[in-house]
Amino acid sequence: MRPIEIILPILLAAYLLWPFFAPRPRVVKALPTISLLLTGLHLLTEGWRWQMIPMYVLLSAIFLASLPVLLRPGQPGSEKPRGWCLLAAILSLVLLAVASLLPALLPVPELLAPTGPYPVGTRTIVLTDTSRKEIYSGNDEPRRFMVQIWYPAVPPPAGTKQAPWMSEARIVAPAIAQYIELPVFFLDHLVLSHTDSYENIPVRPGEAYPLLLFSHGWNGFRQQSTFLMEELASHGYIVAAMEHPYGARLTVFPDGSIVPNNPAALPKGKPQDEYEVAARILVNQWSGDLAYALDYFTQLNQADPQGQFTGLIDITRVGVFGHSTGGGATVQFCGTDPRCIAGVTLDAFMRPVGTQVLDGGTRQPFLYLFSELWPFERNTELFNRYYSHVSPSNRVITILGADHYDFSDLPALSPLAPQLGLKGPINGTRVQRIINTYVLAYFNQQFKNTPTTLFDGPQTDYPELRYDK
């Protein structure tokens, strides 16, 4: 809960509880009025959200009921509430507890703050690859997709507002709620969530940064793992997250056009062979997005029209990482494009990976992180088939107690995330710190020659990890 959202129930509880111990002095009688004024400040600065509606209604009722007592002439604190007044206070306290529970269980998400030395800037671009057709729209048009970039930045001017977690939340949040089988209005408060990044502030000059490309999961979105994007950028990486139209939950382009997920691209209920053929077509399209984005960043490094990134992207140090289907796209891309120097997968979905890569492996060093609760038999079978063709120095590590969405920001949506199926039983903040630590350490080892013992075997500081290979 945000600061004023915490203060309001405390003030109202003090007002309602006071008569049980002593008559209310005039300053206590004024607490409903003070709370009403604070609510106005809350609406102006924090913004209203539907989870607070019961609190607003209860506060208004308590304020109206307090007016006669507040305005009554006589000695302050001379009244001693009796009978029905005490019953009303008890009932109000019960209602206050209920009204406080909803915003506490569905808070405005706060992402894990990055730990690196650099402020983080962010910028979103649209790329159009005229050499490829859009195969899922049903129209004769080129492939168009969005990319969000996080990068080391100069310190922002005082008063600069932090970037929203999801700039199109009013449109995308209902689609996400529907996908995770919640009421469409359930996540409307995501419009109020902000990150630790700043939009369009200048890149920190002075050195060329390694480039990391990220591919989200099926029905994911480019901001789905912002906690990890910001962490990497704050430590000196330029991170670019794809948003794959028709595979993402919902893509909203700057021109206002909206592209929904196309279920036929990854069809459920089909025979295994038919499903995996469709999945490979999908991941080939996503791999093409990664390749085209890398072409774009190569050109941007040579001559950025805005003068921001010229000479600041080290195209010789390119890492690729992805979650779920995006993990499969990472394996596919690195197996076919030598510009990929190192890779990391997060619960890699292997069914879309082509037979050439499954049976030929990848030459690059890789870290494969898995959650304990997600992997299933077919995926494990395909991963083992692929892993038999890669370097034995590659590491496979499982996070015990984690589930598939623990690699995303979704666990921050609610303390009830495990009950909603959005995470495993492991503490959400803890698992995100583990992910940040291991992914950063791996890329630092590959691109900055930073030594680490994290991949040598079990660590006493991280008992939640199982080293599988």
243-278 pLDDT per residue, tens: 999 999 999 999 999 999 999 999 999 999 999 999
Q: What pLDDT, on the 0 to 100 scale, is given for residue 78?
A: 46
Residue 288 has pLDDT above 80, yes or no: yes
Q: pLDDT band for 71, please (50, 70, 90 cuts).
A: confident
In the chain, the largest separation of any two C-alpha atoms, in whole Å, equals: 89
Residue 206 has pLDDT above 90, yes or no: no
User: What would the two tokens of residue 187 be?
Assistant: 């996540």
DSSP strand pairing (465-467 vs 313-323): unpaired
Q: Number of C-alpha atoms within 13 angstroms, CB side, residue 95?
A: 18
CA distances from 377 to 72, 380, 411 (A): 73, 5, 25
If you average pLDDT over residues 308-329, what whole number do you get?
97
pLDDT in tens, 374-428: 999 999 999 999 999 999 999 999 999 999 999 999 999 999 899 888 999 999 9
Q: Where are the alpha helices (DSSP H) in 350-450?
A: 355-360, 377-387, 428-447
- Quote the CA–CA distance of 462 and 469 in Å, as a whole number: 17
Q: pTM, whole model, 2 decimals?
A: 0.93
Tokens of 122: 């962010």
Alpha-carbon span 35 to 44, nearest angstrom: 14
pLDDT of 77 > 50? The answer is no
| Upper half-sphere CA count for residue 71 (Cβ side, 13 Å) | 7
Whole-number pLDDT of residue 228? 98
**Comparison of pLDDT for 167 and 208, the residue scoring more:** 208
Q: Which fold is adopted by the domain 120-467?
A: Rossmann fold (3.40.50)
What are the boundaries of each domain within the chain?
Answer: 3-105, 120-467
Mean pLDDT, the chain, as a whole number? 94
Residues forming beta bridges with residue 322, ordered by sequence position:
215, 345
pLDDT at 76 over 60: no
In percent, the amount of the chain with pLDDT more than 70 equals 97
Q: pLDDT tens digit string along 122-152?
A: 999 999 999 999 999 999 999 999 999 999 9
Residue 81's pLDDT band, with cuts at 50, 70 and 90, is: low
Q: pLDDT: is 70 or 200 the higher one?
A: 200
CB within 8 Å of 201: residues ≥ 6 apart: 119, 121, 153, 154, 156, 160
- Helix/strand/coil (H/E/C) assignment for every residue in 138-157: CCCCEEEEEEEEEEEECCCC
- What DSSP designation does 391 have? -
Choose among 86, 156, 110: nearest CA to 428: 110
Taking residues 449-460, report their average pLDDT. Answer: 96
- What is residue 23's predicted lDDT score, i.e. its pLDDT? 75
Question: How confident is the model over 334-343, as pLDDT tens digits?
Answer: 999 999 999 9
> What is the pLDDT, as a whole number, of residue 25?
81
Dihedrals phi, psi of 462, to nearest 5 degrees: -135, 70
The average pLDDT across 111-122 equals 97
- Residue 18 is predicted with a pLDDT of 83
Residue 312: its pLDDT value, please? Answer: 97
Q: What is the pLDDT of residue 27?
A: 84
pLDDT digit string, tens, across residues 52-69: 999 999 999 999 988 887
